[in-house]
Amino acid sequence: MSNKKMITCFVEALGISEEDVVNTLEYNSIPQWDSVAHMQLIAALEEAFDIMLDTDDIIDMSSVAKARQILQKYDIGF
Amino acid sequence: MISIGIVSSFTISPFVKKFKDLCANEKIETNVFHATSYSLATDELLNEKSELHSFPPRILIIMIDLKSLIPDLWECPNKNSQDRSDLIFEKSEFLFHMISYYANKHPGTMIIMNNFEVPVYTPLGILDNKDDKGLSHFVRSLNQQLETHFKQSNQIFIYDFDRFLCWHGKKNTFDSRLYYIADMKLHQALYSDLSREYMVYIKCLIGKSKKCLVLDLDNTLWGGIVGEVGFDHIQLGPKPPGNVFLEVQRLILAWYQRGIILAINSRNNPEDIYPVFRKHPHMILKEHHFSAIRINWNDKSENLVEIAHELNISTDSMVFIDDDPYQCTLIRSVLPEIVTLQRPEDISLYPEMIMTIKEFNTLQLTNEDIIRSQSYVNERQRKTLKQTYKNQTDFLRSLDMELIIRKSSSYTLPRMAQLTQRTNQFNLTGIRYSVSELEALHQSQRFKLFSVQVKDKLGDSGIVGAAIIEINKTMDAVLNSFLLSCRALGRNIEQFFLQFIINQSVNWDIERVIGIYQSTDKNMQTRSFFSDNGFKFLMKNVHSTQWALPLSDLYSNYSFPDYIRLTYIDEKNT
């Protein structure tokens, strides 16, 4: 459930397809995931999970795997 | 299709997307190019090989933020005064040079440049305004210099971005996370609002400004229904809620003074209403401020169409305010081209609604704007007068008309550009020009530009017509634009103006005068203008026809009727 929600956020904010959202996908590794898209991703995640991310966590969120790990810190179960 | 360039010193791509969407919503086709980063922005403006130079846009928006221009901003107050003034001088000179350089190379591009945000923080704290070291003072004087430098320019407009930020509250316009992580200096929530601010310029440029404000009366100009509560009990005066209506009337009067035509559309008994206008001690708007008045029990949409007809304007140049949701819905569905605004339920929000109407903006304020409202009143008198004469000639003779035709000069160009932007009905080609574009034509040997001003015994209508003629290589004088304001129609001025041009053309070393009729949504009435004036059909395209008048066909110069006084002014010779 949470995983699906998170993937949807990636798909919509970065404009990529679901298959592309794999654990190893990294920030700035594809043109679609630049700093502006990153902030759109953050906005999408905050809205979807009703949380407020710390700036450190936003900067840390450098891959899909990392995103899942950080979201867990905010009591989101996967 | 309007091409728009945006250069900014910070990340703005999500804004650009919003801006494009808004243009699409307004059915304005745009092609938006943007460059974001300080070095890219300056390079685009200064490098002649850049895309911005190769494809100059119609409108160029420049957004440069203070921190990009002056990275060590917080140190400014502690510099010695010589260093500080050197810094202001250096930075402002650089900006002036960069913008003027681009503007001079591309006179067809209108430039909108944001001014700088006055920071809310200063290292000097409460001492910031104690001497001229203050940071606020520093930024304000930079803004002041920008304004002063471009005040006279018809091509470069300084957009008061700082005021925009103040309106929304600077605390709300800045998102620290967006700024530090993605270099986005403006909160995303404000993108739509900022887009609408730039849209004002675009709409002015493409001739979509509104000209006329039509008002309901009960609960719109005063509180209460005068037919029910009576003259003494309407809400209008210093006490709340009458003070809100007082403020609204003052705001509307200020628009009248800058040339917005006012009209009334109210379902009422006239005998209940006129005493309010004539005797109520707190009425600020008087009968003479209104160019057309409909107080009756007819359908309000029919009244609106009649008012448009009476004023010789089209319904799409009107804004209508009413308090009744039913009427507003009705007008919106029957006449969607009219901007219909419903007075807010909460009366205290009413003045703000008036203040945020942007539709009346224009790119120039001319002498004609100031006298416009009065000239509609004159026109009403002229129509009454016309009915007392059996034929047109007797009517014209009675008017004691004077036509003043001028060869273009810096004095007439702003008004001529405004006429091309605003005139829809009697406009043979419908081509819109900015002042800077007209300036370029005015400088060119190939073009001849004329304006016509008309005065008669009822008043001075100001400059009401313009003609742009291109002398082309095949020895033709082509009427690229020929137009007359709707206020001046019905007095044969268009015919006299055309004949004047034909008389002049014999001195231009040409063989033919060519007239072009390019059909638009609204200029049907002009389609036979050239044939009516002796031109012969030449050729036809999808939307246009061309007409020719060989000068060899002319036996002699047209002589003007004795009841017209014609004055020709060529500024160069005076």
Q: Rounded distance, CA B448 to CA B467, Å?
A: 8
- Going from the C-alpha of B555 to that of each of B507, B533, B551, B552, B558, the distances in angstroms are 15, 15, 9, 8, 9
Q: Contact B184/A39, CB-based, under 8 Å? A: yes
Kindly state the percentage of chain B with pLDDT values over 70.
Answer: 99
Residue B338 sits in a domain of what CATH number? 3.40.50.1000
Q: Contact B177/A39, CB-based, under 8 Å? A: yes
Any idea which of B255-264, B306-315, B384-393 has the lowest mean pLDDT?
Answer: B384-393
Q: What does the DSSP 8-state code read for residue B222?
A: B
Residues B216, B201 share a domain: no
* pLDDT tens profile B403-413: 999 999 988 99
Say if A71 is an interface residue toward chain B (CB within 8 Å).
no
Q: Rounded distance, CA B166 to CA B191, Å?
A: 15
- Going from the C-alpha of B167 to that of each of B170, B190, B330, B334, the distances in angstroms are 8, 11, 33, 35
Which among B11, B177, B183 is the nearest to A58, CB-wise?
A: B177
CA distance B173 to chain A (A): 16
In a domain, B371, yes or no: no
For residues B457, B460, B464, B469, the Cα torsion angle rounded to the nearest 10 degrees is 90
* pLDDT tens profile B1-22: 889 999 998 888 889 989 999 9
Residue B458 sits in a domain of what CATH number? 3.40.630.30
**For range B381-407, the mean pLDDT:** 89
Which among B13, B177, B180 is the nearest to A36, CB-wise?
A: B13
| Unique residue bearing structure tokens 């304007």 | B313
Instruction: For chain B, give the mean pLDDT.
Output: 91
Kindly state the percentage of chain B with pLDDT values over 90.
Answer: 64
Q: Rounded distance, CA B369 to CA B255, Å?
A: 10
Residues B526, B496 share a domain: yes
Where does the pLDDT of residue B493 fall: very low under 50, low under 70, confident under 90, or very high at 90 and above?
very high
- Going from the C-alpha of B545 to that of each of B472, B478, B516, B536, the distances in angstroms are 18, 13, 6, 11
Residues B180, B233 share a domain: no
Q: Contact A38/B178, CB-based, under 8 Å? A: no
Residue B151 sits in a domain of what CATH number? 3.40.50.1110
Q: Contact B182/A36, CB-based, under 8 Å? A: yes
Instruction: Give the pLDDT score at B572.
Output: 63
Taking CB atoms and an 8 Å cutoff, what residues of chain B touch A35? 11, 181-183
Residues B536, B431 share a domain: yes
**Structural domain ending residue among the three candidates B205, B233, B250:** B205
Say if A52 is an interface residue toward chain B (CB within 8 Å).
no
Instruction: Give the pLDDT score at B29.
Output: 87
Residues B102, B46 share a domain: yes
Instruction: Report the chain A residue with the minimal C-alpha distance to residue B14.
Output: A36
Say if A30 is an interface residue toward chain B (CB within 8 Å).
no
Q: How many domains does chain B have?
A: 3
**For range A32-37, the mean pLDDT:** 90
In a domain, B86, yes or no: yes
Burial B290-306 (b: 16+ CB within 10 A, else e): bbbbbbbeeebbebbee
Say if A51 is an interface residue toward chain B (CB within 8 Å).
no
Q: Which helix (H) or strand (E) holds B367?
A: helix B367-386
Residues B194, B219 share a domain: no
Residues B455, B542 share a domain: yes
Taking CB atoms and an 8 Å cutoff, what residues of chain B touch A43? 188
Q: Rounded distance, CA B7 to CA B5, Å?
A: 7
Residues B313, B178 share a domain: no
Instruction: Give the pLDDT score at B80.
Output: 85
Of residues B181 and B265, which shows the higher confidence score?
B265
pLDDT for residue B318 is more than 60: yes
pLDDT for residue A58 is more than 50: yes
Q: Which helix (H) or strand (E) holds B253?
A: helix B242-257
Say if A11 is an interface residue toward chain B (CB within 8 Å).
no
Supply the ipTM of this predicted assembly.
0.86
In a domain, B367, yes or no: no
End-to-end CA distance of chain A: 8
Where does the pLDDT of residue B574 fall: very low under 50, low under 70, confident under 90, or very high at 90 and above?
very low
**Residue B311 contacts residue B317 (beta carbons within 8 Å):** no
Q: Which helix (H) or strand (E) holds B5?
A: strand B2-8
Q: Contact A39/B180, CB-based, under 8 Å? A: no
In a domain, B321, yes or no: yes
Where does the pLDDT of residue B40 fall: very low under 50, low under 70, confident under 90, or very high at 90 and above?
confident
Residues B274, B135 share a domain: no
Residues B220, B193 share a domain: no
**Structural domain ending residue among the three candidates B188, B205, B222:** B205
Instruction: Report the chain B residue with the minimal C-alpha distance to residue A54.
Output: B177
**For range B180-194, the mean pLDDT:** 90
Instruction: Give the pLDDT score at B178.
Output: 86
* pLDDT tens profile B73-107: 888 888 888 888 888 889 889 999 999 999 999 98
Say if A54 is an interface residue toward chain B (CB within 8 Å).
no
Q: Contact B182/A59, CB-based, under 8 Å? A: no
Taking CB atoms and an 8 Å cutoff, what residues of chain A touch B180? 55
Domain assignment of residue B307, given as a range: 212-355
Q: Rounded distance, CA B156 to CA B496, Å?
A: 36
Which among A36, A42, A58 is the nearest to B11, CB-wise?
A: A36
In a domain, B365, yes or no: no
In a domain, B374, yes or no: no
Taking CB atoms and an 8 Å cutoff, what residues of chain A touch B14? 36, 40
User: What is the DSSP pairing of strand B156-159 with strand B110-114?
Assistant: parallel
Q: Domain A2-16+24-73, what fold?
A: 1.10.1200
- Going from the C-alpha of B184 to that of each of B36, B54, B65, B119, B187, the distances in angstroms are 11, 28, 11, 16, 7
* pLDDT tens profile B191-243: 999 999 999 999 998 888 999 999 999 999 999 999 999 999 999 999 999 99
Show the 3-state SS of B455-472.
EECCEEEEEEEEEEEEEC
In a domain, B193, yes or no: yes
Torsion sign, CA atoms B93, B96, B102, B103: negative
Residues B230, B152 share a domain: no
Residues B503, B396 share a domain: yes
Measured in whole angstroms, the distance separating CA B445 from the mean position of its chain's CA atoms is: 28
Q: Contact A36/B177, CB-based, under 8 Å? A: no
Of residues B552 and B225, which shows the higher confidence score?
B225
Q: Contact A35/B178, CB-based, under 8 Å? A: no
3-state class (DSSP) for residue B402:
strand
